[in-house]
Structure 1
Amino acid sequence: IPLFLKQREIDLYAVVHRSMDVNNLDQWGTSYMTRRKWKIENDIPFVNLDFAQWGC
């Protein structure tokens, strides 16, 4: 599950880049994309859960 969530996060980041003018986002969008890129690059999970407790 953690790898699936990481892939989904990367996919969503790519969709925003493909579908929107990332050079003209509002303040929230710019902040979101900056944080998301940093978290992807630094391998910080989108959802910080211990999946082992559910046997994943």
Structure 2
Amino acid sequence: MTERLGPDQSAANEELTPAERLALMQTQHRTLDQKIIELQSRPWQNQLLVQRLKKEKLA
């Protein structure tokens, strides 16, 4: 079964322009930053998860 994409959807293998890629990465970094800050603010933070998120942010 194939799924058709609408005009506002993109295929996963479609190449992004450098500006689009930068915007996507900035959004992902902001999301990761928010998760890291939230986890670090807890009294019993999950250090392993925080480290994984920081590593993902660097990748």
Question: Normalising to structure 2: TM-score of the pair?
Answer: 0.42
Larger radius of gyration: 2
Question: Normalising to structure 1: TM-score of the pair?
Answer: 0.44
Instruction: Decide which structure has greater helix share.
Output: 1
